[in-house]
Amino acid sequence: MANLQAAPRFIRACKRLPVDRTPVWFMRQAGRYMKEYRELRKKYSILALAKTPELACEVTLQPIRAMPIDAAIIFADILLPIEPMGARLRFAPGPIIDNPVRSASDVKRLKNFEPREGLGFVLKAITLTRRELGATPLIGFAGAPFTLASYLIEGGPSDHFLKTKAFMLEQPKAWDALMRKVRAITADYLKAQVEAGAQAVQLFDSWVGCLSADQYRRCVLPHSRFVLAALKKSGVPVIHFGTGTAGFLEDFASAGGDVVGVDWRMDLDAAWKRIGPRAIQGNLDPTLLFAKKTVLKAAVKDILSRAGSRKGFIFNLGHGILPKTPVGNVEAVVDWVHERRLN
């Protein structure tokens, strides 16, 4: 990353440098909406794909071969780190943790581990993928401390996070101990991904929007800040993404990162005013990828107009691509974003 003048437009946008066109990539751009991925899933489970470096590399490359996306993101799962910690993880079809964390003693039994050993298959997949990508940058990622902690406590996805909030508020010492364990592993894991060849990393706080502003500030912000601060010396751009953060966007942005990812629940220009002179990523509603192309194109143009000529904009969705999304609509969005020249 030393020579940013020659860097790809995605990297340049992360650093708020001029670009010729707006860079675009999509969260979950490799996955169930693509025929090539579904063919692989007939033979392999999600965990088998993620834990086999050659297969993870292949899945990562599928959308890059299909359309001129400006960045790849390694195929993995945010829950992979909890297995070496001692969680019994399975998918049926969604994630289920058979030994959830519900007490201080449960927190104590969680193991610290070296990501270069416990998650070496992800690092190998990153190295393999970098060899195949050529000039296209590769993004690594991890789940943020709150999102991983919520999975560990709930035992899987949740609509209301009742168990997580009860644990956080009723057992504050155990909560802090849990978050400290998770944050240390997450920071080391992301640093290891950079060492393996990731040219940018994203911290996903997918479920943080369930919190109040006060809960976020007191119970989550210090731990996210720890991870993001640990990556400052990595030399690569760091994206901090969350959903449902409109109620505490300024606090969320204050945790750190070069780029703040926002969802579709707030206008892009309004979000930008609130975070100040930072790069921003977002924020098309993923459901609009199912709309008629006239409706979809208007939504894309609206986001681009809100971005205007500001430096540091990366076009993305407000969350991941949904299953059964028409591939043609994803391809069209890439083309529409790239149509507009910036200089």
Produce one character per residue of 207-244: b if its CB has 16 or more CB atoms within 10 Å, e if not. Answer: bbbbbeeebbeebbbebbbbbbebbeebebbbbbbbbb
How buried is residue 4: exposed, middle or buried, by Cβ count under 10 Å (0-12/13-18/19+)?
exposed
**DSSP H helical ranges for 231-321:** 249-254, 268-275, 293-307
Catalytic residue among 77, 205, 258, 263: 77
Strand partners, 13: none
For residue 150, CA distances in Å to 155, 157, 207, 304, 337 come to 8, 8, 8, 34, 35
Q: If DSSP codes are grouped into helix, strand and coil, which group holds residue 261?
A: strand
- Structure tokens that stand for 209 in this block: 């929007």
**Is residue 265 annotated as a catalytic residue, yes or no?**
no
Contacts 24+ apart (CB under 8 A), 123-126: 123/192, 123/193, 123/195, 123/196, 124/53, 124/196, 125/53, 125/54, 125/56, 125/57, 125/60, 125/74, 125/75, 125/76, 126/74, 126/193, 126/196, 126/197, 126/198
Catalytic residue among 151, 188, 216, 258: 151
Catalytic residue among 21, 41, 217, 265: 41
Angle at 101 between CA 190 and CA 179, to 5 degrees: 40
**Is residue 151 annotated as a catalytic residue, yes or no?**
yes
**Is residue 218 annotated as a catalytic residue, yes or no?**
no
**Is residue 32 annotated as a catalytic residue, yes or no?**
yes
Catalytic residue among 28, 188, 189, 205: 28
Question: Which positions are catalytic?
Answer: 28, 32, 41, 77, 151
